[in-house]
Structures are given as structure tokens and as C-alpha cells.
Chains A and B, each alone.
Chain A
Amino acid sequence: MIVEQIIAASIVMTTPILLAAMGGLVNRQAGIVNIALDAKMLTGAFVAVVVSSATGSWLVAVIAAALAGALVGLLFSLVITRANANMIVAGLGLNVFVAGFLGFILTWVYKSSGTLRLPDVQLLPHFLPESVSGVPIIGRALAELEPLTVFAWATVFVLPFLLASTRIGLWVRVTGNAPQVARSMGLPQKSIQDFSTSFAGFYSGLGGAHLALASIGLFNEGLTAGRGFIALAAFYFGRDRPVATAMVCLLFGFLEATQIRMQTAGLPPKLIGTIPYLMVLVALCIAGWRASRRKALS
């Protein structure tokens, strides 16, 4: 029973991180380190709640959230590619800006500080029939399965193909990994980067929509709780490979799901929460150490 709960909770917790990480991964493949994933997730969550309440349709809400994320991503990208802004500072600035902007709307339009509760918010549907909960171990996870989680995992397994074998996938990778080649081939590098950042925004927006509409159905200023940065940690640790990154996301989701249980076992949740970040530090060290050893050998 506990195992069932943990599996179900881990999968739910993984989805928003996974969605944002898939977007950020493509973005980084195109040579842009996207530090503003969190801002786009927050935008997506806000739009999802507002649209879901207004239309009563989760599908419209999710699409609107993704498009809002993509729009923010595109504007962010234009600042980087056309106005030559430094991507790290601009990204941190965008996080501050979006948090301020949404807080402003929340206070001004909805007269609420911090939390937005709207009537008739439609949550993501659990589309499998009730009877699947009888399946051993994963029954509960199956019963709670919603479309965004399926979409996220479908992306994980389609993305390697898209990146390796389609024209746009190759363009993205060439732009980030061999800019000289991209230039000599005459590829529209800036537009490709704009596309990849919009893509990251699209997926982060979906991640935000999942956070808002998976179970709670409301928006809160602290809803993302740094998940955009956890996603960043995930694709750094997964070295920009979709499947490896997804496994890291699953681990982070598992840690999040078990945090509360670990607390009762005497492990402080705040310290558990630092594990993703420490893992990335260790991974970076190992990668750096390997590279320097290789250099020393040759």
C-alpha cells in the first residue's frame, strides 16, 4: 500500500520537472542555457488556472499555458539572440520580472496576495477506468494517470529520434554544438535558437499547467518552488540526453514524494531537498576531472 502510494506520488511529482527539463534540454542543445525555466513554469501555471476557470476546459487551459510559456520564451530568446544580452543575467532578470508581473496582476486584478482561487477550475482528468486500481503495485499510479504525464513520457521517447534523425533536430544540435559548422552551412542560427527557446517555454508552460491543474487547481506565487532550477539540474546531470535526463527527473520526483516520509524517519526534508543540487555538483566535478585527466594523458 505504501509502495503503491509512493510510486503514484513519485510519478505525479516527476511530471512538471520532466516537462521543463525536456524543454531546457533542447534549448541547451541549441546552445542556450535557460535559467528562466522557472519563470515560464510560473506563467504557465497562472494562465492554466485562469483559462481553466474561464472556459471550463482543461485542454484549452493546457494549450493556453503552453502557448503563454512559448511566447515568454520567444521574447526572452529575442533579447538574447537579437539584442545580444547575456543569457544568464537576462534569465535571472526574467525570473524576477515574471514573479513581479504575476504578483502585480494577482494583487491588482484579483485583489489577492499570493494565492489565486477561481471557481470552476477543471483539473486534468484521470482517463483510465477506475478498475485499473486493482492492478498490483502500479494500480494507483495508473488510476491517477492524466494526459500531461503521458505526453511528458511520450516526449522522452520521441525526442531522441527527433534530435537524431530529423532535419530540425540536427539543426538544433549543430547550432549549439558546432556553431562554426552551422555558420558555414548558412543555417539561420538565431532563428533556430529562438525556436528552441520557444520550445523550452512551451514545455515549461505545460509543466506549470501540470503543477496547477494536477490536483490543487489554484495558483500560488511560490507554486514552482524552484522546480525550473531542479529541471536545469536534471538535464545537466543527464548530460542533455532525453532518457538519462528523464531518469534523473524520476529520481528527483521520488525524492520529493518521499520527503515527508523521510521526515518521520528523522531525516530533515530541507536537507533532502538539497540532494538534486549536490548531485549536479558531483556530476560536474566528475565530468571536469575526467576531461582534465584525458587532457593530461594525451
Chain B
Amino acid sequence: MADASVESQSSMMSPSIWLEKGFGLAFPFIVALVVAAVILLVIGENPIDIFSLMAKESFGSERRIAATLSAATPLLFTAVATAICFRTGVFNVGVEGAFVVGGIAAAFIGFSLPAGMGFAIILVAFAFAALVGAIWLYIPGVLLAKLQVDEVVSTLMLNFVAFGVTGYLVNGPLLSEVSGNNVTPPVHEAAELTRLMPPSTLHAGFIVGILVVIAYAVWTRRTPTGFSAAMVGYSQRFSRAVGISVPASIILVMVLSGVVAGFGGASHALGQLHRFTDGFSPGYGFTGMAVALLGRNSAIGIVLGAILFGALASAGTTIQLFSNIPLDLVNIIQGTVMIFAVVEIGRLRFLSRRAAP
């Protein structure tokens, strides 16, 4: 992580670095495509045909592009939330949990405030989701900063707590009385985010996501806290020596990560599902991690990575319909990308190792 963050600081240097960066972005994906191609060959399908079908299904028409961007929307948020922490050397794997609690918080505001408030409901819902997400990740942030509690384990455990608590809420206090199991009531129409290209589900949350990525880019490049957070990621000893407060940086990035993840949950609840359901996130937090790794924490990389994974997801569903290739192929590709995004081969270092906790 440290290397990646420093490279992004010095990205203007020389063409060879750009080449290496581009290759670093493409390498895990190429490996994943090779793995997928081998599997397709084994089952007697022509990988080229399938891949071109997938490309057509994800970018072939305006409608398909809208579906791809719609699938990419939650990933923009979760990837930024992950990258904020990773570039600081904080191994936060709890974005998934913060996304989920943010989602239920936004849905709660969306259906419980009076419908007459109009657009203001959306603002309140986003603010509340951000607050809940921030508090959610503030806990492991403080534990790491003050007590050196290993953040990998604490955030991982908090994910399961988030699933349990939200699962309880949608089956108990927040259960919709009319729609059966595991769902909250739908949010008011006024609280729904605008659909950008009906009938596709692409909604205004995508624009919010892009704004978040831009804000992230500005934060990393143009603000003192963004710079000092990168320094903490590069070397904690150095940071201490030059007077950067390591605990303050850690807590700050965890809270920011929670805010962004909460926004993501709010966008998904108000824009996509219009309510909260059990199984709200099919692992967006973890896919976002893959996106952040693939994009090596850079803003442009995150947008490209999110669109790539969005394309996989949107193509995956239709490909199952048209060619009876199981949808699970997408998971195989995603898992391979995650594994190979952190592999170091030869002199190409894709992500430096952190000392064992």
C-alpha cells in the first residue's frame, strides 16, 4: 500500500512509470480473464465468443451502458471508502458493514419522515447514513489508534455484527407490515433518487459517486490531511518524526471511510432498491476492495475499476440468460482479480506487504 500511495504522488514522473502503472492495472484482470478462458474451454465454450458477448452486453447499447454504470454505482463509494484507508496503511475491511448500516439508516429516514418534506428527506437521509457509517468505523479507528487493536479483525467482526443487527431490524422493529419478510417499508417517492435514463435503474447516486471520487482526488492531492495520511501510510516512524499525529490520521481516515460508505448505502437504498432488505449488499464492500486494489487507490483507477466490475456484474446476469454460462463466472473473475492484485512477481511490486499483525 505504501508504495502505491507514493507512486500516485509521483505519477507525473516518467513514461515508464505510466507504463508500469497501466500494466499493474491490467495484470490482475488479464490473469482473471485467462482463468475464465481456461474454465470456458474446459466446459467446451469458445472464450472469445463469450467475452465478446459479455462486452456487447455491458457496453453494446445505451441501455446496456446504463445498466453497467448502475451496477458500478455502489462500487464507486465502497472503493473510495477502502482506498482512503488503504493509502494510509489502515487495513479496513469493514466498508461492507458501514455500507449496510448506512443503507438501513437512510431507508429508515426515507420512510419515517413525513413525505411532505420533499427533497429535504434525501439530504437528511444521506446525512444520517454518513453519521451512522462514521460512528460505525470510528469504533475500530479509535481502537486501532489508541489501543493498537488489530483493525483487520475488528472491522471484519463488525461486518458480521452489522449483518446481524440489520437482519434483526428488518425482521423486527423496521419490518414492513405489508411486504412480508426481510424488508423495510418502501421509502417515500420524494426520497427516491431520480432515475437518469429510465427504464434503466441508473440513478442520481451515480453522479454523487463521481462527485465523491472527485472529492477523494482533491483530498489526496490538494489537502494537508490527505498528504499527511499518505505519509502515515508510507512510514509511521517518519510521520511521527516530522510531527504528524499518527492516531489522529488513523481516526480521520476511518471516519471519512465510514462517511463515504454510509453515502454509498444511502445511494443504494434510495436510488436502487427504494428500501432496505436483508441481503442489501451482495458483497459491494469486498468488490470495492478489489476495485481499490486494481485502481491502486488512484481516482481514475477507481472509476475505471468500478466500471469494469459493473460491466462484469451487468453482463453476468444477462449472459446466464443467453448462453447458459453460470453467473458464478463473475465471482471467479472477481476472486482472481483480488488475489492477483496483491501478488508481486519479479520486480513488479503491486502492493507492498504489511508486517504481520
B342 touches A285 (CB 8 A): no
Consensus secondary structure, chain A interface: helix
The B136-184 residues at the A interface (CB cut-off 8 A) are 143, 146-150, 152-154, 156-158, 160-161, 164-165, 167-168, 171-172
A31 touching B356 in the complex, CB below 8 Å, given contacts A100-B335, A236-B153: yes
Distance of A166 Cα from B343 Cα, bound (Å): 33
Contacting residues, chain B, for A98 (C-beta < 8 A): 335
Distance of A33 Cα from B153 Cα, bound (Å): 10
Asked if B112 is at the interface of the complex by the 8 Å CB criterion, the answer is: no
Contacting residues, chain B, for A108 (C-beta < 8 A): 43, 326
A92 touches B326 (CB 8 A): no
Contacting residues, chain B, for A32 (C-beta < 8 A): 356
Of the residues B147, B152, B330, B341, contact of A100 by C-beta under 8 Å: B330
The stretch among B120-128, B282-290, B296-304 that forms the contact with chain A is B282-290
B342 touches A85 (CB 8 A): yes
Asked if A274 is at the interface of the complex by the 8 Å CB criterion, the answer is: yes
A96 touches B335 (CB 8 A): yes
A88 touching B328 in the complex, CB below 8 Å, given contacts A31-B356, A274-B164, A281-B158: no
Distance of A67 Cα from B160 Cα, bound (Å): 29
A88 touches B332 (CB 8 A): no
- Give, as a whole number of angstroms, the nearest-CB distance from B350 to chain A: 9
Over the window 72-93 of chain A, the binary record of Cβ atoms lying under 8 Å from chain B Cβ atoms (1 yes, 0 no) is: 0000000100011111111011
Asked if B353 is at the interface of the complex by the 8 Å CB criterion, the answer is: yes
A277 touches B160 (CB 8 A): yes
Asked if B39 is at the interface of the complex by the 8 Å CB criterion, the answer is: yes
The stretch among A41-49, A246-254, A287-295 that forms the contact with chain B is A287-295
Contacting residues, chain B, for A280 (C-beta < 8 A): 153, 157
**Which bucket holds chain B's interface residue count?**
35 or more
Distance of A284 Cα from B39 Cα, bound (Å): 42
Residue of A at shortest CB range from B293? A89
Contacting residues, chain B, for A268 (C-beta < 8 A): 168, 171-172
B336 touches A93 (CB 8 A): yes
Of the residues B148, B168, B333, B354, contact of A270 by C-beta under 8 Å: B168
Over the window 121-157 of chain A, the binary record of Cβ atoms lying under 8 Å from chain B Cβ atoms (1 yes, 0 no) is: 0000000000000000000000000000000000000
The A263-292 residues at the B interface (CB cut-off 8 A) are 268, 270-271, 273-274, 277-278, 280-281, 284-285, 287-289, 291-292
- Give, as a whole number of angstroms, the nearest-CB distance from A24 to chain B: 12
Give 6 pairs: A residue, B residue, CB < 8 Å, sorted on A: A79-B339, A89-B293, A100-B329, A232-B156, A268-B172, A289-B147
Name A residues whose Cβ lies closer than 8 Å to a Cβ of B.
Answer: 31-33, 35, 79, 83-90, 92-104, 106-108, 176, 226, 229, 232-233, 236, 268, 270-271, 273-274, 277-278, 280-281, 284-285, 287-289, 291-292
Given A84-B344, A93-B334, 10 more A-B residue pairs with CB atoms under 8 Å apart are A33-B356, A86-B354, A90-B338, A92-B289, A93-B290, A100-B332, A268-B172, A280-B153, A280-B157, A292-B147
